[in-house]
Amino acid sequence: MNKIKNQARPVFPFTAIIGQEEMKLALVLNVIDPKIGGVMIMGDRGTGKSTTIRAIADLLPEIEVVSDDMFNSDAYDYDVMSDVVKQQIENKVDFTTQFIKVPMVDLPLGATEDRLCGTIDIEKALNEGIKSFEPGLLAKANRGILYVDEVNLLDDHLVDILLDSAASGWNTVEREGISIRHPARFVLVGSGNPEEGELRPQLLDRFGMHAEIRTVKDPSLRVQIVEQRTKFDQDPYSCINEFYDKQSALKESIVLAQKKLANVVIDYDLKVKISQICGILNVDGLRGDIVTNRAAKAFAAYQNKDEVDVDDIKTIITLCLRHRLRKDPLDTIDSGTKVDKIVNEILI
């Protein structure tokens, strides 16, 4: 029997992606704990960035949302619930729920602020006294993934809005004295090609993790990747069926990690060592310390552990810190290597 439902558009399975381990790990950890703050993926063109991001969204279990709610509100969690649903609960009004796939929203490069944040219909508000709101992409992305390709080419003002919403979990639209706010909790994923320009350091620092991807050089691995992709293009459903068990196992371990996360602990001495590394590397602010602690806990939970150990920190710390180092034009080593060197000195 066919193990998959008929999808409108088949998505390449996440577990079928060969290589690019750094990017895959960063995405999985952000899905386990969205408060890590998103992922910036920088790398060459044609390295499977958007394929991988679509694949992780497709892999995730369906979420329960309030029916006919434009913000994908959770019926049980106040933090990701719209004000309308909160009022319904307070007034004991019944509503139905339904299960939907995790939203995956693409932000096009030419998007305007209204398209991103949504718009208030002023005419309706003045004439009829009704707060009429046309939701934007931030509303659609609530409880999902918001993907910005070529984020380094996006208008800085829009990047600021994106990062503020991702950090606070809310989007506020104000116009002519009328204000509407709604939940906007999402995993922000940006990708770009360094040849097309860098992101400003103050914006780069706001992304929780930074994965660097390179074109695979090994000829046999390249052949393997090409064959895998060709097989999928020729018969997507048999390829999806082939990876069904692996996909299910990964989905299950993500769900278990999400449940386990709140109880994972990190020893005080390890916290001190993380901060010591950040200090030696001259990382500005405390965001690096916070993200590294969060990511280490998410990684421990992903491995079904109750406590973070040194190896967990070694695995994730470069992803959390490499983009926070001050750029020195005279440096001959890249920032990732610099982080690794200090980590190996401190974490023995």
Q: What is the pLDDT of residues 153-181, one digit of tens each?
A: 888 888 888 888 888 889 988 877 778 88
User: Which pLDDT score, from 0 to 100, does residue 337 have?
Assistant: 81
How far apart, in whole angstroms, are the C-alpha atoms of residue 313 and residue 258? 19
- The pLDDT-based confidence of 2 (bands split at 50, 70, 90) is very low
How far apart, in whole angstroms, are the C-alpha atoms of residue 37 and residue 192? 17
Instruction: Say if strands 145-149 and 104-106 run parallel, antiparallel, or are unpaired.
Output: parallel
Q: Comparing 297 with 233, which gets the higher pLDDT? A: 297
In this model, does residue 7 exceed pLDDT 60?
no
Q: Comparing 130 with 84, which gets the higher pLDDT? A: 84
Residues with a catalytic annotation lie at 287
Q: 180 CB contacts (<8 Å, ≥6 apart)? A: 118, 120, 131, 133, 172, 173, 174
Locate 284 and state its tokens: 């500005």
In this model, does residue 273 exceed pLDDT 50?
yes
Q: Which CATH number fits domain 263-346: 1.10.8.80, 1.10.490.10, 3.30.360.10, 1.10.357.10?
A: 1.10.8.80
Structurally, at CATH architecture level, domain 14-62+101-213 sits in 3-Layer(aba) Sandwich (3.40)
Q: pTM for this one?
A: 0.88
Mean per-residue pLDDT, 227-231: 89
84 in Cβ contact with 67 (< 8 Å): no
Q: What is the pLDDT of residues 165-222, one digit of tens each?
A: 888 889 988 877 778 888 999 999 998 887 777 777 777 888 899 998 888 888 888 8
Domain boundaries, the chain: 14-62+101-213, 263-346
In this model, does residue 331 exceed pLDDT 60?
no
Instruction: Say if strands 63-66 and 97-100 run parallel, antiparallel, or are unpaired.
Output: antiparallel
Phi, then psi, of 66 in degrees rounded to 5 = -70, 130
Locate 186 and state its tokens: 């999402």
171 in Cβ contact with 181 (< 8 Å): yes
In this model, does residue 3 exceed pLDDT 50?
no
User: Which pLDDT score, from 0 to 100, does residue 306 have?
Assistant: 94
